[in-house]
Amino acid sequence: MSLIVIGMSHRTTGVDLLERVVLTGNQAQALGESLQRNDHVNGSVVVSTCNRVEVYADVETFHGAVTGITESLASTTGLVVDQLRDHLYVHFEDRAVSHAFQVASGLDSVAVGEGQVLGQLRDALRVAQDGGHLDPSLSALMQHALRVGKRVHSETDIDTVSRSLIERALVTAQATLGELGEQRALVVGAGAMSGLAAHTLARAGVEQLTIINRTPAKAARLAEATGGVDRSWDDLADAVAQADLVVSCTGAVGHVLDSELVHASETPKLLVDLALPRDVDPGLAGTPGVALISLEDLNAAVADEAEKTQLTAAHELVSAEVAEFLVARRAAAVAPAVAELRARTAEVVAAEMSRLEQRTELTEHDQAQVRTTVHRVVEKILHTPTVRIKQLAGEEQGGQDYAALLRTLFDLDPHESRVSQIPHGTPPGGEAP
């Protein structure tokens, strides 16, 4: 069994195609159910966010699983395989683990360091659990990925990287509009990035801050936390018309701000699109008096030394966690063979003790003493090789399959015991027939 990740993200395809493959909750669930019927897939987790669609899977056969997952993804999205193939990436085993940990840490996000992806992974894991799509190996990977993501956010300052993204947008805003203290700002959305933008605008001292979200309660909470005002989604067109600076990040499929909502402006108006898929129709960039900056524009800016330091720290933490996980995974892979060896020796001891009891007239006390002595001898003989083989498996020197080697050396069969029970009446010194 092997771990793989197959999917596409903002790194491998354009926004136009990515917008077409973003899955609704029902589609993601249907994809998971489809994969559960695939003989090549033991377990799967479907992750669909505004900038990625990925399947994490524990598989029996690599090529069969890749083909099956690709076909299921195409069927679910309504696209043909050829439309997807050139944009999909596949990560196998070590690279799959590394990718999962980087995604959970926000290192693979459009807005590097954002923490919203942790909640999205947690939701995807819950859906897979509820649907019975998980196996132990995949569950261990996803649970560990969530722990790594939490560590990165609590032990590094990677959150400052996404804050810097917003701050770069404000630098552009000030250069375009003038002093921020004289600007009326509108934030569309109330998620993690929108909240970050709202707090940053509040600290910058904008003249007026308005929050609009499809869920009024969320808009109200964010407005209260930032000293702004909340308005109804039905007021979006009017709020856009009154704003000098509009920051949008809703995660919606389709454009939230288009030509029907945004009109030519006599005074400069700046639209900041932090969403992927895009919230703002790119065609608005040509509207008189309207300027548009996107995530791509902001990410193109060179990170400063502080940001680079935080990114380095996060990458180093993730690398250490990947190494630790792989060592434990490889050591665990040999554990069943070690258990089989111990079970075999226990059966041999039991059989020989049965033979001894038939040939001698030992008291129960003597039998217990002999049994304890034999057990200690066996344990001492097995201890060093079983510990060492787990260490070697963890180190994976030369890619050796130590579980298979152990089964070959001791003729172990995980499905049946080859130890013959000594039949009663075997003559002393004789062999069982």
What positions carry a catalytic annotation? Answer: 50
CB atoms within 10 A of CB 401: 15
Distance between CA atoms of residues 281 and 264, nearest Å: 14
Please check whether residue 387 is in contact with residue 339, taking contact to mean a CB–CB distance below 8 angstroms: no
Distance between CA atoms of residues 198 and 223, nearest Å: 8
Distance between CA atoms of residues 138 and 134, nearest Å: 6
User: Hey, which residues does 91 pair with through a beta bridge?
Assistant: 5
User: Hey, which residues does 270 pair with through a beta bridge?
Assistant: 245, 291
283 Cα distance to chain centroid = 34
Using left for φ > 0, alpha for ψ between -120 and 50, and beta otherwise, residue 135 falls in: beta
Tokens of 56: 């994490």
Q: Strands across the sheet with 184-188, in order?
A: 229-231, 208-212, 184-188, 245-248, 269-273, 290-294
Q: In what helix (H) or strand (E) does residue 158 lie, and over which residues does it extend?
A: none
Closest by alpha carbon to 246, among 264, 272, 226? 272
Backbone angles phi, psi at 22, to 5 degrees: -60, 130
DSSP line for 20-36: HHPPPHHHHHHHHHHHH
* Residue written as token pair 């003493």: 369
CB atoms within 10 A of CB 133: 23
Strands 269-273 and 208-212: unpaired
* Residue written as token pair 């000030």: 174
Distance between CA atoms of residues 185 and 165, nearest Å: 17
